[in-house]
Structure 1
């Protein structure tokens, strides 16, 4: 596929693209803070106006939370439609003192652009806007129909997206959806993610006395909720690290031989990963290697624990209550609700009689597995090879993206293209988040190529 004219215009205009991205990155659209509500809306309006200037039909939709922006250009009744998803909201920048430059003053140094949202997800989403712009400039029109959906609540769990999708199901109908909100497998090894783990996220609250007690006066007779809690938590796993909850593994889809062989062929550097994490040891599930354990096997982790006194100095107290948060990453065919029920039953049965236990299911997401053989997936692979100059690898990711299930269930989309332009060490959600200018450019090239590859893979 000859895209010399398109890629030439990308090279010519790249400096302008970076300046425009800086404008968007400078807006502190932190969706979790009410004080930034106006900034979040300002970012939505920036995306809306940018789409309109490009010649797209665009609209801003108010929700019960932050706005959703939709845009489209659909001139071809008998050609496929690609839906492009992105989010313009960002994580908080704290701790700001750890940033080398202010998080909302985008700075380019050493061929990276540094700012909150540079990689997650403003920079990656913006590649699609520039791809549409450059194809329109070079060819006069798009080879396929394109729709865009850009939300402002992804970083807080997209609480209003489900209702929006149901209301606008017809407007958002498409043959495939492209989501670039992740990472390559490693530097210069682009990837297509075909599997995501699901999630069951739980909270435990243990209550004993009505108030904190003096450990000298009441120690020996008053039950201690921290003792009860840590006893429960310690029994969530077996000595070999496997999960002890009865029935937890019953529905787990085994890793097939071809998939294990494909994972084994990936350029995974365990020593480099340990160095990056500052660890001398990786906890692998028995019978599985580190890559399989971190991406394709179920897990259980204690994410937080509280209770009693942990300040400076001493305070001899028996706390009235204690609590913990526990997350379980799930794989096909585990169901979040079923796993939450198994977890609740198990810890309830183990709970000592002298304390009261409350268990809450806070959040759930089903695992995702997309067929690598779909023509749209193969089209994406060809597009990435055209854009990056190297064929992508197919990977499974350990994290969860709940919106993917929404697109599958509400819009009926099976061709879900998870195409990460970023890098694993971009620092998403961390200080000094960055996006390589080379990845920005190659993302634009790949997004442009995808428009043409989608047309050739469509069988009508």
Structure 2
């Protein structure tokens, strides 16, 4: 399908505003926290409330024959599966999540983490753009297509509740998703950022992450600071070791295994959108001063946080309080370090080289150890299929105003790598509306409502276009709960 669908804009916009937005606003009020931030399970009941809230809304906002399942392979991280029969060939797997980052302080007056407020064309509240938007957008898109009798494929919407915990429980549900849809024709995720709200941005790759602890023990026990100059500094040695692998000022890594294996290139493929991406990254980085070669070079600002490996020190254990007079020499320090890797990096090889460089031949014969604690590979898929790229561009121009832009980003989305490994033959469209001033994860988080409407219409358009290229490949299986008649 290449021609515009004149009625789709109005139908998708109306459906999202009138049907989805009130329920999405009520979802903001639910104080459910992602499992990693709730080790005592104090908000598990709220997680089930959030799932029940979406399930009840979906029951009355899905086409006849929809099957809705609540799966609980993990008690504190259930999954809601909404299986919508298609009116044409094809199978699409659409991912979303309902878990939230914890509440944050310092919201503007009248706003709060669990207080939904619509102000200046934005819906404020925790998990508006990063969480609840995705399933409501999917269901609004399908609802609009159904209203207009436009053919669409079977849509299997999987809504998890451990995404903000690195998707730690997602893989446990793959056996259920595989039984329902073994070979999807397309996978969509709305959990990504965007450089602006003038076009649809889709992710072409993201950096990986290596985390670990570097420990340096120099003394048998804590010594008085008067021994400085005689007793070597454990912290100084730790910094000297880190200087072997990175430039400590910029954080840029020196190791060969952490160099991008493909030539560095413009992040988005165009000067205009590179400048947009660079400004977006700079705003997120909170750089408030002139930095030569970075703040005055949008292309560099767009490339550095994606294709250059970098290290940051996330914490230091073993130092005394800065309030103490005089002070002491620590016997041992432990540094928590995080290394962001290029999208195409071989992380296991990088860990081996990193460990070797840090621990061999330590200064002053210090006892040094590096213990990796976490590895999240980057993601760097190939080009989108021709039909999908054409559809995305058409949808973006029709509903946002400009053609779509693919970009690589600096953050890690481990659940996408998990999904890509499980469904390795399916193309993945990773997009979203977490753009300028969305403030996801922090205070004043918001969903840009014009962008939300445009994305919903775009998803509807892409689903309609999918029924044209080829035959279906999914396999349907009965789930636990059937919606007999749910008129839109």
For the criterion TM > 0.5, the same-fold answer is yes
What SS does the corresponding residue of 1:113 show, helix, strand or coil? strand
> What residue in structure 2 maps to residue 109 of structure 1?
119
Q: Hey, what does 1:7 align to over in structure 2?
A: 9
- Matched with 1:81 is 91
Whether 1:236 and 2:245 are equivalent positions in the alignment is yes
Structure-to-structure mapping, 1:213-252, within 5 angstroms: 213-216=223-226, 219=228, 222-238=231-247, 242-245=252-255, 247-249=257-259, 252=261
1:141-180 equivalences under 5 Å are: 143-166=152-175, 168-173=177-182, 174-180=184-190
Cα offset, 1:350, TM superposition: 4.8
Matched, 1:423 2:435: yes
Of 430-439 and 59-68, more deviation after overlay is shown by: 59-68
Match for residue 339 of structure 1 among 350, 363, 369: 350
Q: CA deviation at 1:235?
A: 2.9
Confirm whether residue 302 of structure 1 aligns to residue 287 of structure 2: no
Unpaired runs of at least 5, structure 2: 473-488
Alignment deviations for residues 124-157 of structure 1 (CA, whole Å, 9 cap, x no partner) = 4421122122323332x85111001111111111
Per mean C-alpha deviation after superposition, the further-off stretch among 264-273 and 31-40 is 264-273
User: Shift in Å at residue 365 of structure 1?
Assistant: 2.3
- Offset from partner CA, 1:79-137 (integer Å, 9 cap, x none): 11111101101111222566751210101111111101111121244211221223233
Give structure 1 stretches of 5+ with no counterpart. Answer: none
Partner residue, 1:369: 380
Number of aligned residue pairs = 453
When residues 434 and 97 of structure 1 are mapped into structure 2, their CA distance, relative to the original with a 3 A threshold, is closer
Residues 380 and 417, structure 1, Cα contact 8 Å, conserved in 2: no
- Indicate the residue corresponding to 1:356 in structure 2: 367
| 1:268-327 per-position Cα deviation (integer Å, ceiling 9, x unaligned) | 1557865763232166599x8221222333333333334312343535122233222222
Q: Which residue of 1 aligns with 2:51?
A: 44
The 1:453–1:297 alpha-carbon spacing in structure 2 relative to 1, beyond 3 Å, is farther
Cα distance per residue 1:49-80 (max 9 Å; x no partner): 2333334311111133411111111346x711
How far apart are the structure 1 equivalents of 2:246 and 2:139? 47
- Asked whether the equivalents of residues 293 and 300 of structure 2 are also in contact (C-alpha less than 8 Å), the reply is no
Question: Quick check: 1:176–1:413 contact (8 Å CA) kept in 2?
Answer: no
Partner of 2:397: 385
Q: Is the 8 A contact 1:102 1:115 kept in 2?
A: yes
In the alignment, the residues of structure 2 paired with residue 105 and residue 442 of structure 1 have an alpha-carbon distance, to the nearest angstrom, of 24
Report the Cα distance in structure 2 between the residues aligned to 1:95 and 1:282, rounded to whole angstroms: 33
CA RMSD in angstroms, aligned pairs only: 2.9
1:191 aligns with 2:185: no
Would you say the 8 A contact 1:59–1:71 is kept in 2? yes
SS in 1 for 2:258: coil
Q: TM-score normalised to the size of structure 2?
A: 0.84
445-454 vs 356-365, which moves further: 356-365
Q: CA 1:224–1:167 in structure 2 vs 1: closer, same or farther (change >3 Å)?
A: farther
Q: 1:42–1:456: structure 2 CA closer, same or farther, 3 Å change rule?
A: same
Aligned 1:113-128 pairs, distance under 5 A: 113-128=123-138
Is contact 1:201-1:361 (8 Å) kept?
A: yes
Counterpart in the other structure of 1:396: 408
- Is the contact made by 2:13 and 2:456 (CA closer than 8 Å) also made in structure 1? no
Q: Report the CA distance shift for 1:99/1:296 in structure 2 as closer, same or farther (over 3 A).
A: farther
For residues 270 and 280 of structure 2, what CA distance do their matches in structure 1 show?
Answer: 17
Distance in 1 between the 2:437 and 2:14 partners?
28
Structure 2 CA distance for aligned equivalents of residues 297 and 341 of structure 1: 19
Alignment partners' CA distance in 1, 2:174 and 2:292: 40
Residues 1:110 and 1:75: Cα distance change in structure 2 (over 3 Å): closer
Contact 1:84 1:147 in 2 (8 A): yes
